[in-house]
Structure 1
Amino acid sequence: MSLYQQLAENLQYISPGFYKQRYFKNLKNLTKENFSGRNVEPELVWIKEYLQNDAVIFDIGANVGTFLYQFENKLKHQNIYGFEPNKKLNIRLKRLFPSMNISSVALSDENTTAEFKVPIIKGKMVASRGTLNT
């Protein structure tokens, strides 16, 4: 990890709000007209335009928090539930979104216990690519 990347990651501890603005900068001023050029899911536009502010939302597999970030200024925080079983990402989400309901469990269509796998790509663990699938 470069010095710049280390400083950027440490910013989340010093100023979580500023860190989120920088990390999620491609979501700023997101519209129906420009979302495809920003390489983001179209649902992120729908959240801002159509979701009522009293809705209750479950973000299953919250990952790095992209959807939570979009919900943050739209919904009441007590109505936002994020589920992320990856310990590293879960801790990060709790730090960045402290007033939301963040849980460390995985949700599935089966009632079972499974191993959460995080791949190593080019010698580095890639936390955002974790899966319950084999």
Structure 2
Amino acid sequence: MKSNSNDRPPILQDLGNGSWHYNYNITEVEIQPEPMAEQEGEQAPAARKAYDYDTVEVWGRPDYDKCVKAVLRSRRDETEEFSLINKYNAFVLGLSTDETDKTEYEAYLSEVIAVKAMVRADLQKVGIEVTGSKL
């Protein structure tokens, strides 16, 4: 889910109900105020900083596997993932001649690698060591 905040969000945010938000892709942005009819002697409001970011919900104490899974599932569900795998396998076995079956799956694998690297780096920033991952 895309989010925006005036304050920099924490990478991991305890919601107090057994779930956490994992906030990622946090980017500082400058918000320009809406143009207003300027009156004599008034200055236009200054631009302000805000933060755009993505967020997913994780149940239980967040760890590497939970965060990776939550991010990947927010982008694609299991059915879509299995479809990519099946199309790729059909291409590899010669049952499909559609080159996009191969390239879409390769792009997905690159996305998975990037998500894993991002989660690993984010968790290290908050002092969580990543060891013994199932993913």
TM-score, normalised relative to structure 1: 0.22
Higher-Rg member (1/2): 2
Bigger relative contact order, structure 1 or 2, given CA contacts below 8 A and separation 6+?
2
Q: Which has the higher strand share?
A: 2
